[in-house]
Amino acid sequence: MLRAYLSTYLFFLFAPIAMIVLFSFHSTPGLVFPMEGFSLRWYSELFANGNFVASLWNSVKVGIFTSIVTTILGTLAALALIRMRGSFRRVFELLNFMPIGLPGLFLGIALVTLFAEIGLPRSLVTVTIAHVLFTLPFFVETMRSRITYFDASLEEAARDLGASQFQTFRLVTIPILLPTIVGAAILTFALSFDEFIITVFVSGNDTTLPLFIWSMLRRTVDPSINAASVLALALSILVLAAGGLSMWMQRKRAVAARVAELEGE
């Protein structure tokens, strides 16, 4: 019975998405079953649209910059959390977590008020700042389990054996945390690529892909929305799959190295 329930649950999650994918290949504009034929016309229409291509490119750019900044800030925060104790740690943890404990709407309007106050014009820069704020808590939360079980005595051992502070960092700390950092960075890109709720308030004239889809949604019922949606989905999935694969390979290589080491003894 639990299995039957599970199937229903997954069906509920995926049926609406599958439907959009199907209609994106529909030869007529109708959004009704049964379907009448297969075509790629909505995709070719979409790529002929300069605004779409520009917004897709903007989203990729923002995603990459967000991942870089969030990875630097998030890794520093994680390394700090390993070392912190007491009330300062609690305050810092709370501060790192709070941005996702609030509705996106709240962050969006707070940021736009700040930008207006300091006279920063709305652009892809402000969008990137907003995305860093939104993704940083996810980054730190992803690193958390790794931080909790991080054995600080490994660093001390390296120092006792004569490694410099930088060597310890490069040869001990980073290798332990790297797989998690890579995973969290990919998660950051995917989150930034999809972000809409905060972006609405802080974006200028340059649109991102979700903003482009939003403008289509509000205008008319244009069936190329389906195609745009599918491309947005496909890109997120591709990035996540690539990330998953790289982590899996890293793990496999580590296991293989370990086995070789043991056999050599």
Partner 1 sequence: MAMATTTDYIESAKKVRRPLPWPFAAPKGFGLAALPLAFLLFFFVLPVIILFVTSFFTARSFVIEPVWNIQNYVKILWAAGFWQATWVGLKNGVFTAFFSVVLSFPVAYYLVYRARTNVILYLVLLSWFSSYLVRVYAWRTILGTNGVINSFLLSTGIIDKPLEIILFSPFASVITLIHIMLPFALLILVSAMRDVKKEYLEAARDLGASGPAVLYKVILPMTYKGIVGSFMFSFILAAGDYVTPQLLGGREGVTSGLLIANQFRSSGNWPLGSAMAFVMMATFIIVYIVFVQILRLARVAPGRRYHG
Q: Which amino acid is at 80?
A: A
Q: Which amino acid is at 76?
A: L
The window from 49-57, 108-116, 176-184, 255-263 that contacts partner 1 (CB under 8 A) reads 108-116
| 180 in contact with partner 1 (CB under 8 A) | no
| 12 in contact with partner 1 (CB under 8 A) | yes
| 81 in contact with partner 1 (CB under 8 A) | yes
Which of 5, 38, 149, 166 binds partner 1 (CB under 8 A)? It is: 5
Cβ-contact 67, 195 below 8 angstroms: no
Question: Which residue, 54 or 197, is less far from partner 1 as judged by CB?
Answer: 197
The window from 42-50, 66-74, 174-182, 245-253 that contacts partner 1 (CB under 8 A) reads 66-74
Q: Least CB distance from residue 25 to partner 1, whole Å?
A: 15
- Looking only at residues 222 through 261 of this chain, which bind partner 1 when binding is defined by CB under 8 A? 225, 229, 232-233, 236-237, 240, 244
| CA of residue 260 relative to chain centroid, distance | 35
Q: Least CB distance from residue 263 to partner 1, whole Å?
A: 29
| 194 in contact with partner 1 (CB under 8 A) | yes
The window from 39-47, 130-138, 176-184, 255-263 that contacts partner 1 (CB under 8 A) reads 130-138
Binding-residue total with partner 1 (CB under 8 A): 74
Which of 42, 56, 63, 104 binds partner 1 (CB under 8 A)? It is: 104
Residue by residue, DSSP assigns 36-60 as --B--HHHHHHHH-HHHHHHHHHHH
What is the rounded CA–CA span in Å between residue 264 and residue 261? Answer: 5
CB contact set of 56 (below 8 Å; sequence gap of 6+): 209, 212, 231
| 154 in contact with partner 1 (CB under 8 A) | no
Cβ-contact 187, 138 below 8 angstroms: yes
What is the rounded CA–CA span in Å between residue 47 and residue 52? Answer: 7
> What backbone torsions phi and psi does residue 38 show, to the nearest 5 degrees?
-105, 135
